[in-house]
Amino acid sequence: MSATTAPELAAVNAELGRDAAALTRWALGLNKAAIVTTNFRPFEAVILHMVSQVQPDVPVVWMDNGYNTEATYQFADAVTQQLGLNLKIYLPLRSRAHREAVDGPTPALDDPRHAAFTQEVKLEPFTRALRETAPQVWFTALRATDTAVRAAMEPVSINPDGLIKVAPLLHWSSKDLHEYCQQHGLPNNFDYVDPTKGEDNRECGLHLSH
């Protein structure tokens, strides 16, 4: 089955939209080039475990903005080693030290320069990642409780460019995620900050532009 039409998508969402493991198997079963993106925020080990258990070599794309906490970098290394992830790290074209020397510290959310900052440290690296990995299927750990934009999403959708976007955990609660981590002995990370968002319920632009 190929998820290319609205009726097919509706059927998949109705049948598998709340069965994360089955939805993951279905999407990888399409035999299309896939990636899973991560920022190593809390509970990210769940989507990484779920995807890698079905297809261990799926590229795991991380846009490392250079502003992560020590705990986040330690978590990234720990979960990558534990799961044997095929991690692909995409960095901004300028280092944090270079950027701050020229432009100063991270601009505030209401600073007109913040959009350019987000473009530089997150959106441009992601565009580069898409160009280099050329995926047809994109796994993401989006959850409906994150933002109003995400609450309106379906577990499987097709972007205007034809990229199949799969969010197996869309309807999971924090309790669900915690129990999955415990069941599978997965590490976690709660010391996480995203400088492009500033607040947990704010969109960073990644899922608005893609």
Positions marked catalytic: 204
Q: Is 97 helix (H, G, I), strand (E, B) or coil?
A: helix
Centroid of chain to Cα 201: 15
Using alpha carbons only, give the angle 190, 193, 198 rounded to the nearest 5 degrees. 130
* Helix (H) / strand (E) containing 93: none
Measured distance CA(130)–CA(106) in Å, rounded: 26
Of 108, 71, 113, residue with least CA distance to 197: 108
